């Protein structure tokens, strides 16, 4: 069996909880005489002037932490690190509350609008980057995903050697998850109900959609209470498809308040518009700890504004 090579440890620390970029020069070699020539071809999105500036200022380093100069000869298989140029980000003006921390896990109460992990234009303003920086845990990694627009419980793994055990809980559907949502009340919708469908989320498309095929998703939906034309709902997903709860609620004719995608994709609001958060909350998680064997349950302390503060809506 072929063993996977392990990259050496980075000689550069994280900045704002974000790892430096790591590149390995092709082992088979190539037509490049210098490291600069390779970087200019390998990084077409980075202007040659930016590459020159990094090399001139010592911003590219090798395995020993020594700066690599523009004339450095190309060495097949060599490792390089440098910091990416981060675009300006609009700060998410809400706190990320740590509910639990031990040697294995960090569980947080994530606010709406804060991405869980770096992706696209959200890099520093993410839960992972904030936690790595604030808790001084550079190896922290997510155990699962939680949409940027959804608030509530998110779980992170402290040690790399424990990551697989906790991620397997979510992969194997061993975590019992509960969500709360606020949507319109419709007496014609019979609840509780179990919704099953085949959900597909294609790369490059904002919205997921359903196909007339064997179900790959399941959600249990219950009405907890109603008032003034609104309902507060308890959602229990058995599976974890992207946008599953939002799509299933919309399919019932009960789109979640503040949803900019279902049933209709709306124009994207300004990056600093935090006025109408999606009224979906990851409210509870329960599982048997794979390392200790002890039962665990975590509950969010957040509420949904459309239910608790109707005047703001």
CATH of 21-82, one of 3.40.50.300, 2.60.40.10, 3.40.630.10, 3.10.290.10: 3.10.290.10
Q: Which residue has the higher pLDDT, 131 or 3?
A: 131
Mean pLDDT within 241-259: 97
* Element (DSSP H or E) covering residue 248: helix 244-251
Mean pLDDT within 130-147: 96
Q: Are 99 and 108 in contact (CB under 8 A)?
A: yes
> What residue segments make up the domains of the chain, in order of their start?
21-82, 97-312
For 148, counting Cβ atoms within 10 Å of its Cβ (0-12 exposed, 13-18 middle, 19+ buried), the class is: buried
Q: Is the model's pLDDT at 232 over the cut of 50?
A: yes
| pLDDT interval class at 182 (50, 70, 90) | very high
Q: Indicate if the alpha-carbon torsion angle 182, 185, 188, 190 is positive or negative.
A: positive
Determine which of 52-56, 61-65, 254-258, 267-271 has the lowest per-residue pLDDT on average. Answer: 267-271
CATH fold of the domain at 97-312: Pseudouridine synthase (3.30.2350)
Q: Is the model's pLDDT at 100 over the cut of 90?
A: yes
The confidence score (pLDDT) of residue 117 equals: 94
Of these ranges, 38-42, 44-48, 269-273, 280-284, the one predicted with the greatest mean pLDDT is 280-284
Q: Are 155 and 102 in contact (CB under 8 A)?
A: no
pLDDT tens-digit profile of 261-272? 999 999 988 888
Q: Is the model's pLDDT at 76 over the cut of 60?
A: yes
The confidence score (pLDDT) of residue 201 equals: 94
C-alpha–C-alpha distance, residues 110 and 116, integer Å: 8
Q: Which residue has the higher pLDDT, 47 or 102?
A: 102
Q: Parallel, antiparallel, or unpaired for β 151-157 and 280-288?
A: parallel
Tokens of 267: 């124009």
The confidence score (pLDDT) of residue 77 equals: 95
Q: Which residues of 216-250 are buried (b: 16+ CB within 10 A; e: fewer)?
A: ebbbbbebeeeeeebbbbbbbbeeebebbbbbbbb
Percent of the chain with pLDDT over 90: 86
């Amino acid at each position: 069996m072929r063993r996977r090579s392990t990259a050496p440890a980075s000689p550069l620390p994280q900045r704002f909880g974000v790892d430096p970029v790591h590149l390995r020069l092709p082992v088979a070699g190539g037509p490049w005489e210098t490291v600069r020539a390779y970087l200019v071809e390998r990084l077409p999105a980075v202007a040659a002037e930016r590459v020159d500036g990094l090399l001139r200022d010592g911003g590219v380093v090798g395995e020993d932490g020594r700066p690599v100069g523009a004339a450095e000869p190309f060495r097949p298989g060599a490792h390089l690190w440098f910091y990416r140029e981060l675009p300006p980000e609009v700060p998410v003006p809400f706190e990320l509350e740590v509910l639990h921390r031990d040697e294995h896990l960090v569980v947080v109460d994530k606010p709406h609008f804060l991405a869980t992990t770096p992706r696209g234009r959200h890099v520093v303003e993410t839960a992972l980057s904030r936690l790595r920086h604030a808790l001084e845990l550079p190896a922290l990694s997510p155990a699962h995903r939680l949409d940027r627009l959804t608030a509530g419980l998110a779980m992170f793994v402290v040690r790399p050697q424990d990551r697989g055990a906790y991620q397997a809980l979510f992969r194997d559907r061993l975590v019992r998850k509960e969500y709360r949502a606020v949507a319109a009340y419709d007496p014609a919708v019979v609840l509780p109900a179990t919704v099953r469908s085949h959900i597909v989320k294609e790369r490059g498309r904002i919205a997921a959609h359903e196909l007339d095929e064997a179900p790959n998703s399941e959600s249990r939906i219950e009405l907890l209470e109603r008032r003034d034309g609104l309902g507060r709902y308890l959602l229990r997903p058995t599976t974890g498809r992207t946008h599953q709860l939002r799509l299933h609620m919309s399919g019932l004719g009960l789109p979640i308040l503040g949803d900019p995608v279902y049933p209709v994709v709306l124009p994207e609001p300004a990056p600093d518009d935090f006025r109408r958060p999606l009224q979906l909350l990851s409210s509870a998680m329960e599982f048997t700890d794979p390392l200790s064997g002890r039962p665990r349950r975590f509950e969010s302390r957040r509420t949904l504004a459309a239910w608790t503060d109707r005047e703001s809506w």
